[in-house]
Amino acid sequence: MSMEQDDPCTTPRDGSDPKVWSTQIGSPPFSLLIGTPYDSSTPPPTYLSIKHLNQDRPVDKASQLIGYELQAEGGLLCTDERVLANQGGVIMEVIAQVTACLLKGKGIVGLSLPIRLFEPRSTLERMLDRWAFMPVFLDNIQRLDILERFKKVILMAVAGLYVAPSQEKPFNPLLGETLQAYWPNGTEAFCEHTVHHPPITNFQIIGNGFKLEGNLELVGKFKKNSLVGGFSGKVNVIFDSGQVVTYVYPQFRAGGMIFGSRTVNWAHEMTFEDQKNGLTATISFGPKRKKSWFKKAIGKNDDFTGEIQCKGNKLCEITGSWLEGLSFDGVKEWDSNVHTPVFHKFVVNPLPSDWRYREDLVWLAKGNSEIAQRWKHKIENRQREDRKLRGHKH
């Protein structure tokens, strides 16, 4: 990919503040609120440079798990004091906002989550992190047989679970928001947020001898003291040979949301299927449960077990830990201490609908959370207005 010149909107149009694009025009050229009057409390930001966007990310295991400690019982414990402080009391704060809105007769249409919960990334980008091991396990595998390709998909998908498990919330994409990216081996990614509610994103990734297609919905709900969620939907891995492997993700569980220690783990099941060739695999996360109520489960919270079957017949056993590695019949083929992720880069001059152009995210990346919160509120209100217009039209 050629490194073309940055968009001119990465530098000020007028004025001397390098973070402010204009002191006269209300929004940059690719804004959802294009044409809005200038407001000094929400100045339009200069866009993020391609150098900033494509900074190299660390790939070692310690860097992926920064801000966490491995628990003796398995899984992760969040120890990032900044994140924990930012999230402290947020549930009570949201309840207070709802109560205030209702008392004023406004309903809750103006409710907006505090910007301190967010990281300056879109959910579209966070989604790509799940495929950071795609160049490691799916590159140039056309020569492999059907079963070996099936195993490579399992390795790629499971290995991606431990990559950068941030406790901060990415920005929900705007309707029509897009992302274009690539990997060093030439694989390209195209994503578009196609449904606002429920939040669904379509994606297509084109690699050497394969492509990934599908749509994923970001889901989440509070369950007692935990937040349970993740990406719901199917990922289809389509090989040039005609083989198609489909898989679904397990659930992400963040414990201690109201009280107690903040923990992170993957739970329930991850399933894989090659319908044409009769191959299936089910991986169960967590300690291996005993059939008797009187016997303790064996293993740690981050362990998993499973097997590959062909038309009901067991072919091989799957064991491992989403923090350590994965083995087929005892042979370790993914090792988190050996294999490192390969992160995507962003293209220069993307579509005007690209995620990098939203002002709330940009201001948060530039370190001004107050202006970011105001822009977030403005953008959310515009989305609500647009949704009403679409509803009236139908």
pLDDT exceeds 70 at position 393 = no
pLDDT exceeds 90 at position 106 = no
pLDDT exceeds 70 at position 295 = no
Question: What is the model's pLDDT at position 3?
Answer: 43
Structure tokens at 245: 């492997």
Rg, Å, the chain Cα set: 23
Give me the amino acid identity at 392.
H
Kindly give the pairing relationship between strand 169-171 and strand 118-122.
Answer: parallel
Buried b (16+ CB within 10 A) or exposed e, 315-324: bbebbbbbbb
pLDDT exceeds 70 at position 293 = no
CA distance 251 to 249: 7
Question: Model confidence at 97, in pLDDT bands (50, 70, 90)?
Answer: low
Nearest to 64 by CA among 164, 176, 170, 140: 164
pLDDT tens, 35-76? 999 999 999 999 999 999 999 999 999 999 999 999 999 999
> Would you say 357 and 44 are in contact if contact means Cβ atoms under 8 Å apart?
no
Residues of the chain with CATH 2.40.160.120: 118-346
Question: Model confidence at 1, in pLDDT bands (50, 70, 90)?
Answer: very low
Residues 148, 289, 259, 61, CA torsion sign: negative
Question: What is the model's pLDDT at position 2?
Answer: 41
Average pLDDT of the residues in 100-112: 56
Average pLDDT of the residues in 349-377: 96
Buried b (16+ CB within 10 A) or exposed e, 194-209: eebeebbbbbebebee
Within 10 Å of residue 357's Cβ, how many Cβ atoms?
Answer: 25
pLDDT exceeds 50 at position 96 = yes
Buried b (16+ CB within 10 A) or exposed e, 67-80: bbeebeebbbbbeb
E strands within 67-172? 68-70, 76-78, 118-122, 169-171
CA distance 57 to 128: 14
Residue 82, helix vs strand vs coil: helix
Q: What is the DSSP letter of 143?
A: T
CA distance 332 to 93: 47
**Using CA atoms in the order 90, 96, 97, 103, what is the torsion angle rounded to 10 degrees?**
170
Question: What is the model's pLDDT at position 389?
Answer: 86
Q: Which CATH architecture has domain 118-346?
A: Beta Barrel (2.40)
HEC secondary structure over 293-362: CCCCCECCCCEEEEEEEECCEEEEEEEEECCCEEEECCEEEEECCCCCCCCCEECCCCCCCEHHHCHHHH
pLDDT exceeds 60 at position 294 = no
pLDDT exceeds 90 at position 292 = no
Question: What is the model's pLDDT at position 109?
Answer: 42
Among 7-16, 19-28, 239-248, 363-372, where is mean pLDDT lowest?
Answer: 7-16
Tokens 């491992």: give the residue.
320
pLDDT tens, 200-236? 999 999 999 999 999 999 888 878 888 888 899 999 9
Question: What is the model's pLDDT at position 21?
Answer: 96
Q: How far is CA 149 from the centre of its chain?
A: 25
Structure tokens at 54: 């494509």
Question: What is the model's pLDDT at position 291?
Answer: 57
Question: Model confidence at 94, in pLDDT bands (50, 70, 90)?
Answer: low
- The rounded mean pLDDT for the chain is 90
Longest dimension (CA), the chain: 73
CA distance 351 to 339: 34
pLDDT exceeds 70 at position 110 = no
pLDDT exceeds 90 at position 276 = yes
- Please give the model's pTM, rounded to 2 decimal places: 0.91
